[in-house]
Structure 1
Amino acid sequence: MASREHLSRYGRYAGGPDPLAPPVDLADALDAIAEDVMAGYSPRRALREYLRRGGARRPGLDELAGRIQERRQELLGRHRLDGTLEEVRKLLEQAVLNERKQLARDVAMDDTDRALREMQLENLPPSTAAAVNELASYDWQSIEAREAYERIKDLLGRELLDQRFAGMKQALEGATEEDREAVEAMLRDLNGLLDKHRRGEDTDGDFAEFMARHGGFFPENPQSVDELVDALAKRAAAAQRLMQSMSPEQREELMRLSAQAFGSPGLMSGLEALDANLQALRPGEDWSGSERFQGQEGLGLGDGTGVLQDLAELDALAEQLSQSYNGSTLDDLDLDALARQLGRDAAVSARTLAEIERAMHDGGYLRRGADGDLRLSPQAMRRLGKSLLRDTARQLSGRTGSRDTRAAGAAGEPSGSSRAWQFGDAEPWDVTRTITNAITRTAAGGGNPAAGLHLDVADIEVAETEARTRAAVVLLVDVSFSMAVQGRWVPMKRTALALHHLVSTRFRGDRLQLVSFGLRARSMDIGELTALPADREQGTNLHHGLLLAGRFFRQHRSLQPVLLVVTDGEPTAHLLADGEPWFSWPPDSETIGATVAELDRLGRAGTQVTFFRLGDDPGLERFVAAMARRIGGRVVAPDAGELGAAVVGEYLRSHFRGPGDDADWLG
């Protein structure tokens, strides 16, 4: 059996980011950011909003900032600052009580001397500091009383040093006179080094010599004078804020008591010189602030200074988490400080958010446009479109009487490419690619392909097919302000993204044009449509949209024209002869006539037309029903959440069914 000395011990990894942690999953972030972009946010703001609210299983900056404020309030609500004064008062009471007992027991003492001593003890000032100072020259008769009084001086010295040098109170407990002299020597040398540094006369050798002599006082192990000054200045500034957070009476008491620290006035003069040096070297520290403590747990000077440092650290973290200053990024976050204040899990969450921010920029999901602003990149669009199409396919497959969205077998012609088999695929296998994959996998695993092959699901590839009917598709989307007001803005954009991804990846022989229509109509790419803000613009110019659709169809005469119209209102605008839009509410006959005439032209050209009516406006319902009957088109009235499935389903129907076939493919 291995000896105990050779047994391994395992614990939580604490050397930085976990090397075994899974890579950051950007899918959740990208979906959330894109959703906000489609709602009208800029990509920059959408990224900021995501970082602020976090993901489904990850706290965001706002939650972390809230926990920072809770931690701050908890510190202020738990503590009070008179811990040292209270401890001194108790030691003084103990010393006086023991002295009185000794005077009562000492029968050999002269009565006059006893009376004078008792009178002095009886008439001590009510101020603790004044009483301690008055007893500085008292000749104690009780050994216990003298020890209690000496502990007051020792306590004050250790507390005053602990204010400037964290941990000194514990380190000097039970210190000898030699230890105290070493502290005073360190203070003299430190002030000498800082004086030279202020004048720019110090050298690396001066710092090295100082650390060689006094490095034991500095467990932080600073590597330069500046690192030493930074650490000391933060602590000294916190000590100043601590004193300013006390009541005037408490401050006065401590100032009067400080003369008794270690029984050495030289200690206070050394600390005062240190404070002056540090304040001159680091004037940017907060030397004048204060806090309001309201708790019941008394703090000594050293511990109180530590709490003031914690409060300053919490304030710095709150500013970093706010990300409200110019040039701010999550790389600014002090993760070590966050772990100290809120725990390791909070630091891991913040690091993950920083990695998401970095990956969105460096991973190609956001790119800077010609106007200098950030935009979703084509890579982000593809990834988002794939996700939306997957959701749409899931909705389609859940419909009664529906069929899968993939084209298979005789319904399509081979495109010459193949892809990995997915559950539900009905396309013919690409046998050559499938067998090649099996051979490669077997050989890579050390097996002998000549001895026989065993197919794995991962080996299977299917031949991609294209529908025999190639189409020129125009998706006309209403961008009037009512779409945004009624909560249809984002579903409309999600629909366009899903359809765009389907056409660009599975029906590459088709041509798709996206056209928005408000007061005017405009052809745009998917990136423009995704980022389109919801303007408060009146007008539903379907007439202009149909004109642009007709132009696109004429450019692709060899393809089957398919028109998909998404709208939530009757036409209220049309183009005049001079190209300017005319708006009228209620719709006038000229607008309706121009729209109907253009729709008739598309119908005569054999265009398959489907209207997607959103909402239950009676006027719109009558209009689209009449138009569909007029040109042999269809009307679908989906809920906003089902718009994507309805549009994609109709698009697929245009491939698998010819014009005039009234079979309800979607069930």
Structure 2
Amino acid sequence: MSGYRYGRYVDGPDPLAPPTDLRAAMDELGREVMEGSSPAAALRELLRRGTEGTRGLDDLMGRLWKKRSDIQRRHRLDGTLQEVQRLLSEALSAERRTLFPEPTDDARFREAQLDALPPGTAAAVRDLADYDWRSSEARESYEKIQNLLGRELMDQRFQGMKEAMANVDQGDVQRVQEMLADLNELLAGHAAGDEDTPRRFDEFMAKHGEFFPENPRDVDELIDALAARSAAAQRMMNSMSDEQRAELAALSQQAFGNSGVGQQLSTLDSLLQGLRPGEDWNGSARFRGNNPLGLGEGAQAMSDLADLDALAEQLGQSYPGARLEDIDVESLVRQLGAEAGVDARRLAELERQLRDQNLLERGPDGDLRLTPKALRRLGETALRGVVDSVRTPRGDRDNNRAGAAGEPIGSTRPWQFGDSEPWNVPRTVTNAVLRSGGGPVSLDVVDVEITETEQRSRAAIALCVDTSWSMVQDGRWVPMKRTALALHHLVRTRFRTDALELITFGRHAETVDIGELTSLEGVWEQGTNLHHALLLAGRHLRRHPDAQPVVLVVTDGEPTAHLEPTGEAEFNYPPLPRTLGKTLVEVDNIAKLGASITVFKLGDDPRLAAFVDTVARRSGGRVVAPDEDGLGAAVVSDYLRARKRRR
């Protein structure tokens, strides 16, 4: 029996992986937004950190930079020069060993020729091009130099050619010369606007396709591949010293025995620079390692560095309209391995689902924002946390009695004087038929039955939250927002007939919707204008005269500002008597509307404690002093308690 081996699935996303946890992602986004981040910044932070089981962009970015640093720290670019110098030294040593025992003048003359070679490697190789080697070993080493240069130059421009031309002969050199000549002719015609380029490209690939394993589909793909490699080769040359560049430029003319391959490659580079000027032809990198790289390996290293830089930009997501779908996953897998590709796909899928599930949207100004659906999810999470603290049994929120303006509860009762509920026609007619005993049917008042209803008290709630800087400074910003979210979600889902108004007050007060409050950023602003907030609360209560008024105030400071008739806010600390007086006048006005004010006092300021006690006494309300974690439970509990009271 053959055995089976099982391992991790690496060919793309794991088909058995759990689905993306959007709820957890939304909780993370909500926390960041409530702390003052914009939705776009919160999304970037979530993707930067990653999620459970998925590494984030920071981890991928760190691995990219580590690999980039390793390439530069471990390698150097003079591998081809060192190999040429080694082969040249072997050739000269072998030739001198052959000449030394010979007593002839010819041997001494040849030794003098070798001694007179110029000091530069390229110049020495060039001067030995016509030298008649007496040593077969020396001749072989010298020919290796010419073939090595040809293979390295080809590998520098055409990836993988060094191995493909390991055992090059004269026929191979002729094929390379012919391919380069045809290629330069094709590209020159394309640059000149030759309309016959597609046909010529097909003929070229049919003839020389073996040199292009990437199998380009048209001349533009061919140019793209060649230009990327040629630009990497140019950046490699830019990274060398002036002396190294000069040596390699001179040596390239000796490739394949001065066959002209070097000149053809120079022509190719010029054509490619003209056709793809957008490539990075002027860049460079600093290599400081001990591992020498040949021309082909160096070009590949430069290409890898370019890939790593491009991936870093994609992972950075710092350009306008950036999305994780922009990441070149194939390149990421090539550089960091299959697991990195899986992480990138998961993050991109999370971002896509947040958009596709209508949790994020673009506003009229183009900024990313949370949708109402996302706000409902955040509210649900906030309310769940509050309910866990409140532990109030469901069903005791409503006030049940037979009366008007309610919902049918399924039962009926005989009509009594003063009842205004609708008649239950089937029961009324049935009573009349039974009373007639089979005779003519006529209705009498004793036959009438009405449908019993459940009256549900309707409330008008004004939640006034302090947004002065002290709320941010003392860590009360997020609990305040979470409280508003929980109350908003409770009203919208359980008590839909209630009218909730959210009012923020700092130097001024204003009404906001839940989305504005959730994404509200803390700003340095002095002033706690409770006077203005109560003015807006009173206006809201007057718009709903048939509803039970509920006013809830969350604050951590006594009033230090009030609204002047001109609409300007006057601030002073310590508070002016006029500020306190105007605020208490609005407290009295709220009380006249039948509302008691519950103040949720945060902090231990004795001046605030004295003031809120006065507010509670004058409005018939109360003061609650929860800690930050218990604020939401306290507000929701008080709302339910106030709502339960009969008007």
> Scaled by the length of structure 1, what TM-score is found?
0.82
Structure 2 residue aligned with 1:625 = 613
Query: Residues 64-83 of structure 1: matches in 2 within 5 Å?
Result: 64-83=60-79
The C-alpha deviation readout for 1:531-557, integer Å capped at 9, x for no partner, is 333344332222232233233334434
Code of the aligned partner of 1:26:
L
Query: Residues 73-152 of structure 1: matches in 2 within 5 Å?
Result: 73-103=69-99, 109-152=102-145
Structure 2 residue aligned with 1:588 = 576
Contact 2:383–2:487 under 8 Å retained in 1: yes
Give the whole-Å Cα distance in 2 for the aligned partners of 1:97 and 1:296. 26
Q: Which of 531, 535, 538 is the aligned partner of 1:550?
A: 538
1:310 aligns to 2:307 (yes or no): no
Query: Residue 147 of structure 1: CA displacement?
Result: 1.8
Q: Which of 638, 641, 647 is the aligned partner of 1:653?
A: 641
Code of the aligned partner of 2:642:
S
Code of the aligned partner of 2:280:
D
Give the whole-Å Cα distance in 1 for the aligned partners of 2:49 and 2:517. 25
Contact 1:468–1:655 under 8 Å retained in 2: no
1:198 aligns to 2:186 (yes or no): no
Question: Which of structures 1 and 2 has the bigger CA Rg?
Answer: 2
Instruction: List structure 1 runs of 4+ shifted beyond 6 angstroms.
Output: 7-12, 408-417
Distance 1:154 1:492, change over 3 A: same
Query: Residue 375 of structure 1: CA displacement?
Result: 2.8
Report percent identity of matched pairs: 57
Structure 2 residue aligned with 1:493 = 481
Contact 2:399–2:457 under 8 Å retained in 1: no
Contact 2:151–2:162 under 8 Å retained in 1: yes
Query: Residue 155 of structure 1: CA displacement?
Result: 0.8
Query: Residue 83 of structure 1: CA displacement?
Result: 0.4
Give the whole-Å Cα distance in 1 for the aligned partners of 2:565 and 2:77. 82
DSSP 3-state at the match of 2:460: strand
Give the whole-Å Cα distance in 1 for the aligned partners of 2:507 and 2:364. 26
Structure 2 residue aligned with 1:222 = 216
Query: Residue 219 of structure 1: CA displacement?
Result: 0.6
Query: Residue 45 of structure 1: CA displacement?
Result: 3.8
DSSP 3-state at the match of 2:254: helix
Query: Residues 26-41 of structure 1: matches in 2 within 5 Å?
Result: 26-41=22-37
Give the whole-Å Cα distance in 1 for the aligned partners of 2:197 and 2:252. 34
Contact 1:467–1:655 under 8 Å retained in 2: no
Give the whole-Å Cα distance in 1 for the aligned partners of 2:393 and 2:265. 79
Give the whole-Å Cα distance in 2 for the aligned partners of 1:361 and 1:220. 36
Contact 2:182–2:204 under 8 Å retained in 1: yes
1:46 aligns to 2:39 (yes or no): no
Contact 2:407–2:455 under 8 Å retained in 1: no
Distance 1:39 1:11, change over 3 A: closer
Query: Residues 291-330 of structure 1: matches in 2 within 5 Å?
Result: 291-330=285-324
1:387 aligns to 2:381 (yes or no): yes
Give the whole-Å Cα distance in 1 for the aligned partners of 2:567 and 2:125. 96
Contact 1:467–1:656 under 8 Å retained in 2: no
Query: Residues 134-173 of structure 1: matches in 2 within 5 Å?
Result: 134-173=127-166
Query: Residue 381 of structure 1: CA displacement?
Result: 0.7
DSSP 3-state at the match of 1:367: strand
Query: Residue 159 of structure 1: CA displacement?
Result: 0.4
Distance 1:607 1:358, change over 3 A: same
Tell me how large the CA RMSD over aligned residues is.
3.1
Moved more, 126-135 or 597-606: 597-606
Q: Which of 598, 612, 615 is the aligned partner of 2:603?
A: 615
Query: Residues 242-641 of structure 1: matches in 2 within 5 Å?
Result: 242-394=236-388, 396=389, 403-404=391-392, 406-407=394-395, 470-577=458-565, 580-603=568-591, 605-641=593-629
Query: Residue 216 of structure 1: CA displacement?
Result: 0.9
1:237 aligns to 2:231 (yes or no): yes
Give the whole-Å Cα distance in 1 for the aligned partners of 2:174 and 2:8. 42
DSSP 3-state at the match of 2:381: helix
Give the whole-Å Cα distance in 2 for the aligned partners of 1:602 and 1:254. 89
Give the whole-Å Cα distance in 1 for the aligned partners of 2:310 and 2:369. 31
Q: Which of 617, 623, 632 is the aligned partner of 1:644?
A: 632
Give the whole-Å Cα distance in 1 for the aligned partners of 2:61 and 2:157. 29
1:188 aligns to 2:161 (yes or no): no
Distance 1:135 1:12, change over 3 A: farther
Code of the aligned partner of 1:510:
D
Give the whole-Å Cα distance in 2 for the aligned partners of 1:369 and 1:160. 54
Query: Residue 627 of structure 1: CA displacement?
Result: 2.6
Structure 2 residue aligned with 1:443 = none
Structure 1 residue aligned with 2:429 = none
Give the whole-Å Cα distance in 2 for the aligned partners of 1:292 and 1:371. 44
Query: Residue 160 of structure 1: CA displacement?
Result: 0.8
The C-alpha deviation readout for 1:195-237, integer Å capped at 9, x for no partner, is 2111121332211111111111101010000000100011111
Distance 1:410 1:597, change over 3 A: closer
> Scaled by the length of structure 2, what TM-score is found?
0.84
Code of the aligned partner of 1:101:
R
Distance 1:636 1:179, change over 3 A: same
Structure 2 residue aligned with 1:424 = none
The C-alpha deviation readout for 1:328-370, integer Å capped at 9, x for no partner, is 3333322222222223333333333333333333332233445
* Number of equivalences: 599
Distance 1:546 1:166, change over 3 A: same
Code of the aligned partner of 2:466:
D
Distance 1:8 1:59, change over 3 A: closer
The C-alpha deviation readout for 1:272-331, integer Å capped at 9, x for no partner, is 221121112112212222222111110000000111111122222233333333443333
Moved more, 407-416 or 517-526: 407-416
Give the whole-Å Cα distance in 2 for the aligned partners of 1:181 and 1:77. 39
Contact 2:398–2:644 under 8 Å retained in 1: no
Give the whole-Å Cα distance in 1 for the aligned partners of 2:164 and 2:511. 76
Distance 1:288 1:588, change over 3 A: closer
Distance 1:412 1:127, change over 3 A: farther
Give the whole-Å Cα distance in 1 for the aligned partners of 2:332 and 2:58. 14
Code of the aligned partner of 1:27:
R
Contact 2:10–2:342 under 8 Å retained in 1: no
Contact 1:603–1:631 under 8 Å retained in 2: yes
Q: What stretches of structure 1 of length at least 5 have no aligned partner?
A: 397-401, 418-465, 660-667
Give the whole-Å Cα distance in 1 for the aligned partners of 2:256 and 2:378. 70
Contact 1:542–1:595 under 8 Å retained in 2: yes
Give the whole-Å Cα distance in 1 for the aligned partners of 2:119 and 2:407. 99
Contact 2:463–2:503 under 8 Å retained in 1: yes
DSSP 3-state at the match of 2:166: coil
Moved more, 601-610 or 140-149: 601-610
Contact 1:407–1:467 under 8 Å retained in 2: no
Give the whole-Å Cα distance in 2 for the aligned partners of 1:345 and 1:286. 30
